[in-house]
Chains A and B, each alone.
Chain A
Amino acid sequence: MKITNCRQCGLKQFSAFQDCSDDLLNEIFSNKELKQYDKNEIIIQQNDPFRGVFCIQEGTVKVSTIGNKNKEFVLWFAKPGDIIGIDSFINNKSHLFAATAIVSVSACFIPDGDFKELLNRDPSISRKIIKILCDEISSIEGRIASVSQKSIREQFAEMLISIATKNKKSLEANMPISYSIKDLASTIGTTNNYLYKIISDFNDKNVVTILNKKLVIKDFDKLSLIAIGEESVT
């Protein structure tokens, strides 16, 4: 059976609820539901009305928006411990993004009212939310600068590093990255074909390898150099 008790949740220390007491969480979140999603299943549709937040237990969720000419743009990948929907909660609006499971995902759904009650009862959570929002803005504004200042190749190296280091559970450098080419291309607004070229070039240079359709970073230092445009030509 899956964990449905916040007290036993191993992810608590990585999440926004880190500083909340177990008893309080269990009391307030008594209505939470553990939901399962298959690969490619849609968790939130863009413009769905806000009903609650999702706390990811297992798997990876793609958070994306429909941009220009109905092209998808991936804003971020949510990992276990991440919460989806905080900003929709704050603005009390419909979701301005879509969330899709890219592998099998289990997530706790916390209804709107319960989340609100936690905010009222435990002010420490607002400090955490402020921190989360600050980090998200910083990461996006960093990418805005990268889009205008870096080549697609450099941006892709940067994206791989940020995906690899964002994994909250472990910081192993050679964690396989299991995203589809299409999703990776949609994080930097390039085409699948162009991204294939970059990946095969990275593969030739022994920076990454492809194992069972998953990307594994082989050489972090080299990748970092590519990301800052300091790659040696040799």
Chain B
Amino acid sequence: MKSTLERSQIPLCEKCKNLNNSSFCILNRTEQERLSQYKTYNVYKKGQVVFYEGNQPQGLYCIYSGKVKIHKLGDDGKDQIVRLAKTGNVIGYRALLSADNYYATATTLENTVICFFPKAVYLNLLMSNSEFSMKTIKMLSGNLRIAEQMITNMAQKQVKERMAGALIYLIDFFGLEEDHATINTVLTRQDIGNIAGTTTETSIRVLSDLNKNRIIKLSGKKIRIQNYNELLRVANISA
């Protein structure tokens, strides 16, 4: 796998195409060069674990390309996705910031390339650049909003509403493909169920109901949105 992607193909941080979408855009040139200097990268296959819940963080991961799910495994093997991450996002920063172990596991959803920065480099930047720490605070409070929304839905909504909500979350987060209808990600029925907090069986059943009612169109693992307004209505989200 590694041979297909040579080191030369991963640009320096200051030249990275994702720079403007990441929190590193606020850094000055010298700081970005410093990041490049310490950066390593890794190529992950689909389904590979980036870090495990409970392990000690050694550094920060920044997704160069691909998609990752952040999930917590329950005692009885039930899995719950708490967040998704895409190109340009950083993952594993919260454990670093609070000097804690990883609170969840990160697993790739497709073939993914991830850059890695040692802990000290990241924390030094945070200490020395107040704009960067403000940006980090903003990112955290955005994550808090999403988490608060998610827990409220999980505790109050019916499974069908949550499944439709999960699809809307996927549309918002990953966007649509060029046809302006197909969700730009391939997830298993199980993963979608794990976002909505339900079993694989229920996930399959609700998706096929939505398919039958022509709200979505399932073709393989791809999901095409046929009637977005109706999906919003099922999710009980006011447009």
A in complex with B? yes
A-B interface, 8 closest residue pairs, ranked by CB to CB distance from nearest: A189-B155, A148-B197, A149-B74, A133-B140, A67-B152, A145-B72, A134-B98, A87-B141
**Which single member of A68, A86, A91, A130 contacts B152 (CB below 8 Å)?**
A68
Q: List the B residue with the shortest CB-CB distance to A148.
A: B197
Pick from A25-33, A44-52, A135-143 the stretch touching chain B: A135-143
A188 and B155 contacting across the interface, CB-CB below 8 Å: yes
Q: A residues 53-93 with Cβ under 8 Å of B? A: 65, 67-69, 71, 73, 75, 86-87, 90-91
Question: Which residues of the other chain, B, contact A97 by a CB distance below 8 angstroms?
Answer: 148
State the interface size on chain B (CB cutoff 8 A).
43
**Which single member of A86, A133, A144 contacts B82 (CB below 8 Å)?**
A144
Question: Which residues of the other chain, B, contact A10 by a CB distance below 8 angstroms?
Answer: none
- Return B55 CB to nearest CB of chain A, in Å: 15
In the complex, B35 has a CB within 8 A of chain A: no
In the complex, B45 has a CB within 8 A of chain A: no
Q: B residues 66-118 with Cβ under 8 Å of A? A: 72, 74-76, 78, 80, 82-83, 94, 97-98, 100, 103-104
Interface of A is mostly: helix
State the interface size on chain A (CB cutoff 8 A).
40
13 contacts between A and B (CB under 8 A): A65-B152, A68-B153, A87-B144, A133-B137, A135-B98, A137-B94, A138-B100, A141-B83, A141-B103, A141-B147, A147-B154, A148-B78, A148-B80
How many pairs of A and B residues are in contact by the CB < 8 Å rule?
125
Contacts A126-B130, A142-B103 given; 13 further ones with Cβ under 8 A?
A: A96-B145, A119-B134, A130-B98, A134-B97, A134-B140, A140-B148, A140-B150, A140-B151, A144-B80, A144-B151, A148-B80, A149-B75, A188-B155
A133 and B151 contacting across the interface, CB-CB below 8 Å: no
Question: Which residues of the other chain, B, contact A75 by a CB distance below 8 angstroms?
Answer: 148, 151-152
Chain A residues with a Cβ under 8 A of chain B: 65, 67-69, 71, 73, 75, 86-87, 90-91, 96-97, 119, 123, 126-127, 129-131, 133-138, 140-145, 147-150, 188-189, 228-229
